[in-house]
Chains A and B, each alone.
Chain A
Amino acid sequence: MISKRILAGAGLSLALLTACSTPAEEPTTGAAASADGYTIGVANFMLSGPYFSGMDKAIAAQAQKKGNIEIISTDANGDAAKLASNVEDLLTKNVDAVIISGGPLESAPAVLNSLKAAGKPVVLVDRKFPGEYTSWIGPDNEAIGRQNGEFLSKALPDGGKVAIIKGGPADNTIGSARTNGVKSVLSADSKFTLVEAPDFGGWGSDGGLTVMESLLAGNKDIKAVFCENDAMCLGAQRAIADAGLSDGIIIAGVDGQAEALKAILDDTNYKVTGLNDADIIGAKGLDRAVEILGGATVEKDTVVDSPMVTKDNAAQFQNPDGSF
């Protein structure tokens, strides 16, 4: 009786597993499958976030475009230890190279060491880890912040109070680089007062909304708000609208999330963002890995430009087919 149940359970699990695996994964027989092509492993620290899942999709899309490249993608669910074991698994499958999308992870020494020991090239996208890697492609977050600061400085000739909504400890160095960029411009100018929200927005729209509500309770005279990403700014925009202050407060974000681009294009109080495009960074990361495998000598660190997006140019960055 019990063994029947176990069998039934095992059968059900197998059926589930088969049902969930996508057809693309079926010919996964390791590197040997693509005779003259490459197998590239993608180690994602986390996929729960449009930016990160967009990055993963962009890498896969670029591989498809190039043809003859097999992608094995893994997700560590935000667990550094899982990331390390995922990379071990990729090495067991004998991938030719590994692309790491490190998300909010600050460093991954074990991962880089095992890749070095295996002698496989490592391409980091978005997040740069300290240690030995072959190549890194990502944005200059402080430059994005400075860009926003300069925009606000021009948009508010009379100065005033500028609120800053930070994302939180999970992504500290990327977020603080953005905030430092804004501050470096605005705090140099005495007509601006900076108000940093005490609570973190947690990188989500719901957090941005609550933090903005708290800020407005204490500071009615805010003239502009800068958030470390677009998702939080979109929430802040709702809070400002609910308070009936949309005419008096302008918004500056970072990332180029689709909803933010739309808000900018629609001429709302969302005025500017810095494009941190997962599609571009992911595609370039894949290209870089292929170049390395082809034996080319490549640049160690490549900064991808993050153009400032305003109403004038937002349309050209709207990409209906983009993953992000």
Chain B
Amino acid sequence: MSVNALPKVSRDVLVTAAFVGLIVVMIAVAAITTENFLTQTNLTNLLKQMVTTGLLAYGMLVVILTGGIDLSVGSVVAFSGILTAGLVSSLPIPAAMAVGVVSGIGFGLVNGVLVARFGLAPFVVTLASLTTIRGLAFVYSEVPIAPEDPAFFSLGSAMAGPIPVSTVIMFAVFLVGGVFLTRTPAGRSIIAIGGNAETVRLAGINVRRHIVLAYTISGLCAGLAGVILASRVGIAQPSVGVAFELDAIAACVIGGASLAGGKGSVRATFGGVLVLVLINNLLNLYGVQSFWQQVLKGLIIIAVILAQRTNRVRA
């Protein structure tokens, strides 16, 4: 047993080391080759720009761990944002924002019930809710809503010292979320379900309920991301968030999560978010034209995943 366990540990250490190395190299290259990377403005930009992808990526990771996928997160971002902005005229701002987040929880719950209770394929369920929720966002308001009260902007633009408040919230989600997945029975069950749902069921754990919980968490994260994004931009648009799910999935996959479920780590997913945001930021600082940014981003993602795979095979 212990003989088998040894290479497993060193393998994980290797992968982690390579991953941290990659991020350090990216930051070093950025700092040396551009004069603007280490400026306060740019670092603040980085911190702000990782919030949406970060929140969505954590929720996505929880769902991916169960062996599922949540394609509806971009639409939930749009819906919760426009709902919050629309409610600001009739509710106090914190209440409006809470309703926005709750709408995300509601959508997640519906996704989860459809997947767990009715046994429908997660890809199909969330693909259908992607279009339904997007439609609902437009039904709620075809035109962007811009609340006039400047307090609406505070969640997205306030700073806690040198760090944006929205980034602090995202860090908190990762911290609490990390503890939840690794230290609580519910979190461990979610990971175990992705490994082998049948074993988990035989162990007397309610599989359905934990799957519903996973999608609800993803809905909560997406709802929160939508509210923060609307507050940051100052205008909520029903068209926002198209293809946001792709960046969230990419962050999980770069972090080594397996789309088959059961495998993935909170820390590495955060690393994946960091890699994605750094890629965008660097390509912008270098002035790489947008089409090439798309090409390079795709190639870099493939390279990172290949590197992880090689590590695993060799170790």
Contacts and interface: CB of A to CB of B under 8 A. Distances in A.
User: What class of interface size applies to chain A in its complex with B?
Assistant: 35 or more
B237 interface: yes
Given A168-B290, A169-B291, A235-B233, A50 B285 contact: no
Contact of A214 (B144, B239, B281): B281
Contacts, number: 90
Given A50-B144, A199-B284, A217-B41, A238 B153 contact: yes
Contacts of A206: 229, 233, 237, 240
Contacts of A257: 144
A238 B285 CA distance: 20
A205 B233 contact: yes
Nearest to A243: B41
Contacts of B232: 209, 238
A210 B49 contact: yes
B234 interface: yes
A218 B284 CA distance: 10
Interface in B3-45: 36, 39, 41-42, 45
Contacts of A49: 239
B49 A213 contact: yes
Contact of B234 (A50, A169, A205, A324): A205
B150 to A, nearest CB: 10
A99 B293 CA distance: 37
Interface in A166-201: 168-169, 198-200
Nearest to B234: A238
Nearest to A57: B142
Contacts of A200: 290
Judged by DSSP, the binding face of A is: helix
B258 interface: no
Nearest to B142: A53
Given A169-B291, A217-B36, A234-B146, A204 B41 contact: no
B312 to A, nearest CB: 34
B243 to A, nearest CB: 10
Interface centre among B48, B144, B229, by most chain A C-beta atoms within 10 angstroms, is B144
B143 A50 contact: yes
Contacts of A122: none
A48 B239 contact: yes
A31 interface: no
Interface in A269-324: 324
A242 interface: yes
A214 B289 CA distance: 13
A205 B144 contact: yes
B51 to A, nearest CB: 11
A234 B143 contact: no
B235 interface: yes
B285 A218 contact: yes
B289 A198 contact: yes
Nearest to B139: A20
B272 to A, nearest CB: 19
A53 B238 CA distance: 12
B182 interface: no
B138 A216 contact: no
B308 interface: no
Contacts of A220: 41
Contacts of B143: 50, 53-54, 258, 324
A48 B143 CA distance: 9
Contacts of B39: 217
B288 interface: yes
B135 to A, nearest CB: 10
A242 B157 contact: yes
B206 to A, nearest CB: 25
A259 interface: yes
A80 interface: no
Contacts of A48: 138, 238-239
B285 A217 contact: yes
A9 to B, nearest CB: 12
B235 A205 contact: yes
Given A169-B291, A198-B289, A231-B235, 9 more contacts: A47-B142, A50-B144, A199-B290, A206-B237, A209-B232, A209-B233, A234-B235, A237-B234, A324-B143
19 contacts: A50-B142, A50-B144, A53-B142, A198-B286, A198-B288, A199-B293, A204-B237, A204-B240, A206-B240, A209-B233, A214-B281, A216-B41, A217-B36, A234-B235, A238-B157, A241-B157, A242-B157, A257-B144, A324-B143
Interface of A: 47-50, 53-54, 168-169, 198-200, 204-206, 209-210, 213-214, 216-218, 220, 231, 234-235, 237-238, 241-243, 257-259, 262, 324
